[in-house]
Chain A
């Protein structure tokens, strides 16, 4: 599913250069649930941006679902994001002036899907996160946990092969955090969606099947979690 080969991401700032990713090699198979853990500055955000096709590496190659992303231009990146990816963010990142329904519908619009199919998909996704009855509400009218569930619905509405979750529980209290995490696990178990979760929290990271530790732009450990 994911294949990172010798990925370098170097930001040069005049004389000094920052190696955000310093030779990363990583393979993630289909239906895996992987956590990437690291302190701030470890390069995990950069890794997430590259895996999420929001950015391209300075060097190295990245194959997502067999496609070479590392040489893609803006339009191809938009296209592959639209076709294969779903994002869940720490700050939910819902658009405040759009209703729950419209927020979930958004990625489907960018997929150029017909309105009737969009409606079906949105309803299915909202049903899955248990918020179908709130479809007319606006993000402000929902609790943090509910907003994150809306963003999960948005991520899965387009049937992505890969969901990237960036600190999905970071803004939630521990109880709701666990609930949200359960949803994500369920997605992986029941739908077979590949999940890459990025966090700094060990407790969260070890909910996954596999934990990759990043430090100073390098992978320092890659272990399978014993259940």
Chain B
């Protein structure tokens, strides 16, 4: 008997008892759907993380120098000089002064936010875009001009909108700054998001921070491929200054991305592992029903054997039937999984895209499970003695 014939026969016998076939498939449907949904959600989540990191600049190298109070140290001028000497690998550099829990005011209204002291190159390093006005410029930094650039959250909270904020005064620690620019919205303008921020010349920000120091530097490599080389040179430079590799910490974006990849990879493995268990349970369900079906159809098997069916014919009939059940369940599971992934993605705000790989793997695994779990009952059927099978009621 050809596979096609066995398939037609399988469809016939499955449609003869639809409710039972559906219940048999349910395990596979749920298993396949959950694999697809979980993979899609984790992928979406990972993409979101990666996008976030990449929006911060993939060429970024952060250097933090925790203060020790010693007399050794680097000045922004030293760092600038080093960068210019290594211009073939280092694109831009900016000192970074982080001032958290800073209250800023416009008249009577105030918000608590984070201020970052930087130089004019910071947008190039971090990939910031200015929506209105401009970013800080050389003169702001060098002459310590009281200019600032704000995020959309501050603009919306303290002013009517971004446009009206431009050119207005912002009071930071009682001192008036002129808002010279408003950044593009990056994260829904929510409190604590990337839009809840004020950029100042670092030369002024040091006065606002508790220790008055520049705690870190942001570098960008000249090109993505040069990140490692740039990092090595920065390390060598810092070592020559501090003579102690514990005095500073260097972090590059691709190292962070690797960590993200590793982490989401592990999460995917765990979740898919759990989903795979339901596929296994589905397979056992199929085996169970196939065993019942073989017993119920003992007489049919006897008839077929008396008509010249070989053990192979009988076995392929039952294996194909099991595989048909599970692959049909697989199809339904894929449809359900894609639908559920998109629905859950929307609900959770994750860009869940069912991946072709997950669909292909889930489907082939479900067919495979049908064949593996169908094999044992099929083998049983093929070994039946035709005489006893014919006599069976």
How many Å lie between the Cα of A89 and that of B313 in the bound state? 22
How many Å lie between the Cα of A109 and that of B310 in the bound state? 11
Interface membership of chain B positions 296-324, coded 1 if the CB is closer than 8 angstroms to chain A and 0 otherwise = 00011011111111111100000000000
Whether B311 contacts A110 by the Cβ 8 Å rule is no
How many Å lie between the Cα of A82 and that of B305 in the bound state? 9
Whether B311 contacts A75 by the Cβ 8 Å rule is yes
A81 and B306 in contact, given A97-B13, A109-B1, A109-B5 (Cβ under 8 angstroms): yes
The answer to the question of A54 belonging to the interface, with a C-beta cut-off of 8 Å to chain B, is yes
Partner among A49, A55, A111 whose Cβ is within 8 Å of the Cβ of B308: A111
A213 to chain B, nearest CB (A): 23
A75 to chain B, nearest CB (A): 5
How many Å lie between the Cα of A97 and that of B312 in the bound state? 21
Partner among A52, A74, A95 whose Cβ is within 8 Å of the Cβ of B311: A74
A79 and B308 in contact, given A55-B387, A95-B303 (Cβ under 8 angstroms): yes
The answer to the question of A93 belonging to the interface, with a C-beta cut-off of 8 Å to chain B, is yes
Interface membership of chain A positions 158-181, coded 1 if the CB is closer than 8 angstroms to chain B and 0 otherwise = 100000000000000000000000
In the assembled complex, which residues on chain A have CB atoms less than 8 Å from the CB atom of B1? 109-110
A54 and B387 in contact, given A82-B307, A97-B13, A106-B307 (Cβ under 8 angstroms): yes
Within 8 A of B (CB), among A69-105: 74-75, 78-79, 81-83, 85, 87, 89, 93-95, 97-98
How many Å lie between the Cα of A160 and that of B300 in the bound state? 21
The answer to the question of B12 belonging to the interface, with a C-beta cut-off of 8 Å to chain A, is yes
Whether B306 contacts A110 by the Cβ 8 Å rule is no
Whether A110 contacts B387 by the Cβ 8 Å rule is no
Within 8 A of A (CB), among B43-79: none
In the assembled complex, which residues on chain A have CB atoms less than 8 Å from the CB atom of B300? 95
In the assembled complex, which residues on chain A have CB atoms less than 8 Å from the CB atom of B305? 54, 78, 81
Interface membership of chain A positions 97-141, coded 1 if the CB is closer than 8 angstroms to chain B and 0 otherwise = 110000000110111000000000000000000000000000000
A110 and B12 in contact, given A54-B387, A93-B303 (Cβ under 8 angstroms): no
The answer to the question of B175 belonging to the interface, with a C-beta cut-off of 8 Å to chain A, is no
In the assembled complex, which residues on chain A have CB atoms less than 8 Å from the CB atom of B387? 49, 54-55
Interface residues on A, range: 20 to 34
The answer to the question of B390 belonging to the interface, with a C-beta cut-off of 8 Å to chain A, is yes
Whether B307 contacts A81 by the Cβ 8 Å rule is yes
B interface, by DSSP: helix, strand, loop or mixed? helix
User: Which residue of chain A has the shortest Cβ distance to B383 in the bound complex?
Assistant: A74
In the assembled complex, which residues on chain A have CB atoms less than 8 Å from the CB atom of B386? 54
Whether A93 contacts B390 by the Cβ 8 Å rule is yes
A74 and B306 in contact, given A54-B386, A93-B299, A97-B12 (Cβ under 8 angstroms): no
The answer to the question of A44 belonging to the interface, with a C-beta cut-off of 8 Å to chain B, is no
User: Which residue of chain B has the shortest Cβ distance to A94 in the bound complex?
Assistant: B303
A79 and B310 in contact, given A93-B299, A95-B303 (Cβ under 8 angstroms): yes
The answer to the question of A149 belonging to the interface, with a C-beta cut-off of 8 Å to chain B, is no
How many Å lie between the Cα of A99 and that of B118 in the bound state? 84
User: Which residue of chain B has the shortest Cβ distance to A95 in the bound complex?
Assistant: B300
Whether A52 contacts B306 by the Cβ 8 Å rule is yes
Interface membership of chain B positions 380-393, coded 1 if the CB is closer than 8 angstroms to chain A and 0 otherwise = 00000011001000
The answer to the question of A200 belonging to the interface, with a C-beta cut-off of 8 Å to chain B, is no
In the assembled complex, which residues on chain B have CB atoms less than 8 Å from the CB atom of A81? 305-308
Whether A78 contacts B12 by the Cβ 8 Å rule is no
The answer to the question of A218 belonging to the interface, with a C-beta cut-off of 8 Å to chain B, is no
28 inter-chain pairs at a CB distance below 8 angstroms, sorted by A residue, are: A49-B387, A54-B305, A54-B306, A54-B386, A54-B390, A74-B311, A75-B312, A78-B308, A78-B309, A79-B310, A81-B305, A81-B307, A81-B308, A82-B308, A85-B308, A87-B307, A93-B299, A93-B306, A95-B300, A106-B304, A106-B307, A107-B307, A109-B1, A109-B5, A110-B1, A110-B310, A110-B313, A158-B308
List 17 additional A-B contacts (Cβ < 8 Å) besides A110-B1, A110-B310: A49-B387, A54-B305, A54-B390, A74-B311, A75-B310, A75-B312, A78-B311, A78-B313, A79-B308, A81-B307, A81-B308, A82-B307, A95-B300, A95-B304, A98-B12, A110-B308, A110-B309
